[in-house]
Structure 1
Amino acid sequence: MPPAVVYVHGNGNKVRRELLKSQWDTALFGRDMAGATRMAYWAPLRYPEPLPDFRSDPLDGGPEPVEERAASPAPGAPPADRAAPEAPEEFVARTLDEARREAADTGPEVRAGRDGSALAGWLRDMTYLGDTLAHAGERAEPSAELPLEALPLPRAGRTAVFRRLVRHTFKDVHAYFFGGAGPAMREVVSEALDGPADGPLVVIGHSLGSVLAYEVLRELGREVELLITVGSPLAVTEVQDQLARPPAVPAGVAAWRNASDLRDLVALDHTLRPEYGPPERVTDLLVTNDSGNHHGIREYLSQPQVREPVHQLFGHVAHGPG
């Protein structure tokens, strides 16, 4: 019997479910896979309306929408009229305050005794790394010891894109762990896993979606032939501290492939194998993701190291006309 694929999308708002699934299908298979794949679509729990069709998702490295861009300074305005860049420490403090206020508005915390402070270290590390990348782009010859490439934007633009990514990412992460949204988000994944699957099951999680997929599989012990995580923060210590169970390969997962780009600021740590045993079931992959922020899902799904094991499970289905 042919396998089934369950996708779990990542941070931020998305286009409508059917279009999002088709986009992932096209990136992974080259065509829409109809009922062979399904999307665990949790975005409506966090956002009242989906993104308009064909609008680029900024969290996948697309351009920033016009209405969200900062106003440009008037031509000829003196430098003093322009806002000074926000220091990393200020950004961390402000973002934590925003996330805590949002959590207070959405309901009680579901994991008692946790106020989000453990994730502050991750946010701070991401912010400092963003500044490091911005500075690295100014060097004529980047050091061979730092295999990171700066975003293809001027420094101010790179910093703005990065911090915007972190701001949105952290809000959804905070809502999941501390804002009361976790149970409902995991239920969406559980329902998607309960769909028809006469053959092997493949689960693919991106970004925060990889955390959702992992925690649900860890809880349910569902048999999964292949778990693929891309752009995942699961290797980050501050994220591991918030997991309901100690890090380990979910009991029902036969093989786990984890792919990340060294420049992906969400996958701040790139190796799961040291923490998630048994290690023989885990393969960490370093790939090249050339989306604007090196975190885009389509660029991850189009990587041969990600596509090929899925295609092998599908056999001729994956290579049909299309």
Structure 2
Amino acid sequence: MDDATVVYVHGNGNKVRKELLKAQWDTALFGTDMGAASRMAYWAPVRYDTPLPDHRPDPLSGGPPPVRETPDPAAAPRTPEEFIEQTLREARRKAGPALGSRSARAGEEELAHWLAKMTYSAETLGRAEDAAPAAAPPDLAEALPLPLFLRAPVFELLVKLTFEDVYAYFFGGVGEAMREVVRGELAGVRDGPLVVLGHSLGSVIAYEVLREERRDVTLLVSVGCPLGITEVQDVLPLPPAVPAGVAAWSNVSDLRDLVALDHWLRPEYGPPGLVTDHLVRNDSDNHHGITEYLRSAPVQQGLRTVFGRVASDPAE
């Protein structure tokens, strides 16, 4: 439809500049620049001072992790439990405002449970995907100085930065500023069918904005979304429900995606019949990459019903 609009809400971590990020999503989803038919709710400046360089791949969108020095075994966490504690401590430091109320402290405990689940899942997934080549000695893993979790930097980075941004969103005093970015993009949308597409934390931000104020949305799409996770639901201010005005909600995830540990929104987000959960293969390095999600069959087919065109023609 010529009058349709899609509003993107990007996920965790710093990003390239707004115009380039929008162009990347347009290309992955439609194969072309969509001009005014697409808008990017670009909240990264709320958390990060300067954008990523144009040429640098985004590690939280499935690109390779940044090159880093070999960690000092004496300083690095030796176990997943030590990593969990370090990540929580760093999130508290970066978030700024201290947790004051009892309910806020309870919410932090809930998110800490999610951090632990992501970490242990990363350890398990890393064990499966980081297996030594057949030609290597069978005891290679035991010979390395760091625990397996820290030898899988794509998982370490995904867990660490995802948790820090989500923690800042709920407890760091920046949640309202992030939501205001989404409100601003929605306010600029012309009349016509509207799609809202959120990735990772972006799906949480978009969901909360649509819960706060009614907006007629033809299709809500969440990819790599943590809204099915009990610990995340417990820190939402309103009970789980499909936002009023949303005609259909498509939730897409990969079973290996650490951010979307619970892949089923349909049982908890009523009224019945509006949410459809889809499992797809996301073969980016961390199984959370936005490009792979945008090219997946459920996302492409959902957008075709609204726009009449997409980047590819995936099989069922």
Query: TM-score if structure 1 supplies the norm length?
Result: 0.86
Identity %: 62
Would you identify which runs of 4 or more consecutive aligned residues in structure 1 move more than 4 Å? 81-85, 108-112, 155-158
How far apart are 1:88 and its partner, in Å? 1.1
> Contact 1:6 / 1:38 at 8 angstroms: preserved in 2?
yes
| Counterpart mapping for 1:1-322 below 5 A | 2-66=3-67, 69-71=68-70, 86-103=78-95, 105=96, 107=97, 113-115=103-105, 116-137=108-129, 138=131, 159-315=152-308, 318=310
What letter is aligned with 1:125?
Answer: K
What letter is aligned with 1:119?
Answer: L
Q: 1:97 to 1:26 in 2, by over 3 A?
A: same
Q: 1:200 to 1:8 in 2, by over 3 A?
A: same
> Contact 1:109 / 1:180 at 8 angstroms: preserved in 2?
no
Instruction: Name the SS for the 2:103 alignment partner.
Output: coil
Q: 1:31 to 1:169 in 2, by over 3 A?
A: same
What letter is aligned with 2:45?
Answer: P
Instruction: Name the SS for the 1:265 alignment partner.
Output: coil
> Contact 1:208 / 1:233 at 8 angstroms: preserved in 2?
yes
- 1:229-258 deviations in Å (ceiling 9; x for gaps): 000000000000011100000011000000
- 1:65-87 deviations in Å (ceiling 9; x for gaps): 23xx13379xxxxxxx7877621
Query: TM-score if structure 2 supplies the norm length?
Result: 0.87
What letter is aligned with 2:83?
Answer: F
> Contact 2:65 / 2:153 at 8 angstroms: preserved in 1?
no
Q: 1:253 to 1:132 in 2, by over 3 A?
A: same
- 1:48-97 deviations in Å (ceiling 9; x for gaps): 1000002100111211223xx13379xxxxxxx78776211111111111
User: Which sections of structure 2, spanning at least 5 residues, go unmatched?
Assistant: 134-147
Rounded Cα–Cα distance in structure 2 between residues aligned with 1:293 and 1:312: 29
